[in-house]
Amino acid sequence: MKASLLLIGLLSAGVAIAAPPAPKKEGIEGKSYRWNAQEGEKLEALKLKGDKTRGEEAYEICGACHLPSGAGRPDGTFPQLAGQHTTVLIKQMADIRAGLRDNPTMYPFAATLTDPQELADVSVYIESLCIPTDHGKYEGPDAAVQIAKGKELYEKQCLECHGANGEGDKAKFYPVIAGQHFKYLLRQMTEIRDGHRRNANPDMVKVIKPYTNDQLVAISAYMSSLTMPGAMCKPKADKKK
């Protein structure tokens, strides 16, 4: 039995999983930090061709939190992964494994991936999943106003990298944000602004450093409203009674 299946069984039974603490590597706070340095297992995984069949099996452990569909949780505790670029997935998993991004919840699971090939496999499988349309959006009574404010901010400073439809840029490691949960986006934007996301892109930090909390709410509301043509899951047909 693969370790992933065993771990899912333990999770379902409510058994705590003991794991060694994540390593700690100097991030954005350090003078020697190089965003997206091409080295180590990340570089190896990026060079490899992923296998979706093997990746589906490796994803079983991820599905315990991110759901089998890759939809994550609307409350933002776990992000939507489906449709994300392989480059972004490999970078983030490698950074967590190396201690460059702090994620104590995910580290024990990311650590079970055995080698760069498995990183490539699980990433190509996740990228192949359609992006759910029923993700967590901003639901305040002023939603229309917040989305309009966020759209203005996004088009001024985010569109160039993340695209008109939130498609990101695979070659440049800019993530897909279409279909991402509002609460997850807001949390990550806040952590990047405040210097707590240690593997953040310094260029993005500069852009959002001046943003107020209200502006982060607005831009996150707008980003969570974006959809990618051709990448979103098809609407479910109503069942006839």
Express each pLDDT in 155-167 by its tens digit: 999 999 999 999 9
Q: Which residues contact 27 (CB under 8 A, 6 or more apart)?
A: 33, 100, 101, 198, 199, 200
- Token pair 């934007």 is at which residue? 189
pLDDT of residue 24: 85
Rounded Cα–Cα distance for residues 157 and 215 (Å): 13
More confident residue, 13 or 8: 8
153: CB partners within 8 A, 6+ apart: 211, 215, 218, 219, 222
Q: Is the confidence at residue 8, as pLDDT, over 50?
A: no
Find the mean pLDDT for residues 23-48. Answer: 89
Which domains occur in the chain, in start order? Answer: 40-128 (1.10.760.10), 143-223 (1.10.760.10)
* 4 HSE (CA, 13 A, CB side): 19
Contacts of 106 (CB under 8 A, 6+ apart): 65, 96
The whole-angstrom separation of Cα 212 and Cα 70 is: 31
Mean pLDDT of 4-11: 41
> For residue 153, is pLDDT > 60?
yes
Contact 18, 104 (CB under 8 A): no
Amino acid at 140: G
C-alpha 145/C-alpha 130 separation (Å) is 29
pLDDT at 149 over 90: yes
Q: What is the pLDDT of residues 102-119, one digit of tens each?
A: 999 999 988 888 899 999
| Of 31 and 144, more confident | 144
Task: Read off the pLDDT of residues 58-106 as tens digits, 9 standing for 90 and up.
Answer: 999 999 999 999 999 999 999 999 999 999 999 999 999 999 999 999 9
pLDDT value, residue 26: 86
pLDDT in tens, 171-189: 999 999 999 999 999 999 9
Q: Which helix (H) or strand (E) holds 208?
A: helix 202-208
Q: Which pLDDT score, from 0 to 100, does residue 38 have?
A: 83
pLDDT, position 223: 98
Q: What is the chain's mean pLDDT, rounded?
A: 90
pLDDT value of position 71: 97
Angle (nearest 5°) at CA 178 between 45 and 206: 75
Cβ count near 92 (within 10 Å): 23
What is d(CA 11, CA 5) in angstroms, rounded to the nearest whole number?
A: 10
Region of 101 (left: φ > 0; alpha: ψ -120 to 50; beta: rest) is beta
Band (pLDDT 50/70/90 cuts) for residue 240 is: low
DSSP per residue, 214-236: HHHHHHHHHHTT---TTTBPPPP
3-state secondary structure of 206: helix
Measured in degrees and rounded to the nearest 5, phi and psi for residue 133 equal: -90, -20
pLDDT for residue 32? 83
Type of residue numbered 35: W
DSSP classification of residue 97: H
